[in-house]
Structure 1
């Protein structure tokens, strides 16, 4: 998962929960309806769940409430400490979207929130291919992530961030790998998933991809 962003994750660890709660005006629209977004992911999960990019454990907490069997993957040591402070006993491993300890049990759902965009498009496709082999028959991928519906939308959002002088957000938009919805759709179909997209706020989308094999 773009290990080049580890430094960013370490910096975010102390302020992440405040940012997602809306206290940071620059990221308020990115995380608008954050709790509802996480609820959508948790409600679409089932069975044995593998979560990538656990961060501070906010999605994980909701998954546990739904009584799913959870294995968490997180590359940032500082984020792992934050998550384990909230959720003692969580099975949380060092790894990323591409390089992670393979579970010794069947995986029914792979989930993530606000993290998949740290992979390049080539890495995203590589990850989807790995997951297609890892998931059980009729397994699913359930992501909440930032993406653009079109190139026109991408340019509009960049312009909006620049006009509001949200320069940290603009840098994220320019240096991280926010995908186009159509690009993701083609990747999922290539690897025998049936994807569904639902826009949840100006930036975030729910992506549910059912394995079709």
Structure 2
């Protein structure tokens, strides 16, 4: 359920904001257009938003700025602490993950950025089935994350990272659970969603799925 990466989050909480601002050359392309991507995700959400993988609260702030109510779910205590330092008093952040979380009374949109790849493909399928049961017709899932058009494209991305000497990035691609757009489309359609994909940079796509 992604909790195997908790120790990584604990360490990364100290430098996460520097990384997403482009100060780590290995991950510059991964987080290219970071602010624009967050704004796009926030603009697609509506109603009461369930956000997974809050991290340091950057997407949460944009959701709140858009006038939306938010329940934020974050498994890492250091990440939650960083987020609460930045977010308005009273922001609702809870301990949980993509599969194990307190369910708000109302859920209209489910959002996440740069986090869903911490689930295996089997766990992703379980998550989408649960979200499909939570959302009413017109409800949305809006995720921005690294994904690939094919397994060949994924293998090429690993090769490119290695050739550029980006060994940390290559290791992340190998050890975390990146998947393909056709897989996402198949499991979302199975759970009665209509889904579209918009490319944001070399790595990241925004996946917007609406419940039928």
TM-score class, shorter-chain normalisation, is over 0.9
Matches of 1:81 and 1:124 in 2, distance apart?
A: 27
Question: How far apart are the structure 2 equivalents of 1:132 and 1:155?
Answer: 31
Deviation at 1:136, TM superposition (A): 2.5
Is the 1:106–1:136 contact (alpha carbons within 8 Å) kept by the matching residues of 2? no
Matches within 5 A, 1:61-210: 61-87=61-87, 88-103=89-104, 105-210=105-210
Provide TM-score, normalisation by structure 1: 0.98
Which secondary structure does the structure 2 equivalent of 1:41 belong to?
A: helix
Q: List gaps (5 residues or longer) in structure 2.
A: none
Matched, 1:13 2:13: yes
Give the drift of 1:151.
1.7
Per-residue deviation, residues 84-119 of structure 1 (Å, max 9, x unmatched): 00013210000000001111x221000000000100
SS at match of 1:195: strand
Mapped to 1, the partners of 2:118 and 2:90 lie a distance apart of 27
2:85 partner SS: helix
Deviation digits for residues 52-83 of structure 1 (CA, Å, limit 9, x no counterpart)? 00000000010000000100000000000000
Deviation at 1:22, TM superposition (A): 0.3
Alpha-carbon shift at residue 11 of structure 1 (Å): 1.3
Q: Distance in 2 between matches of 1:151 and 1:51?
A: 28
Cα offset, 1:137, TM superposition: 2.3
Task: Name the SS for the 1:208 alignment partner.
Answer: strand
Partner Cα distance (2:108, 2:203) in 1: 27
Query: Secondary structure at 1:70's aligned position in 2?
Result: strand
Equivalent residues, number = 211
Aligned counterparts of 2:18 and 2:182: Cα–Cα separation in 1 = 32
Q: Does the residue aligned with 2:98 lie in a helix, a strand or coil?
A: coil
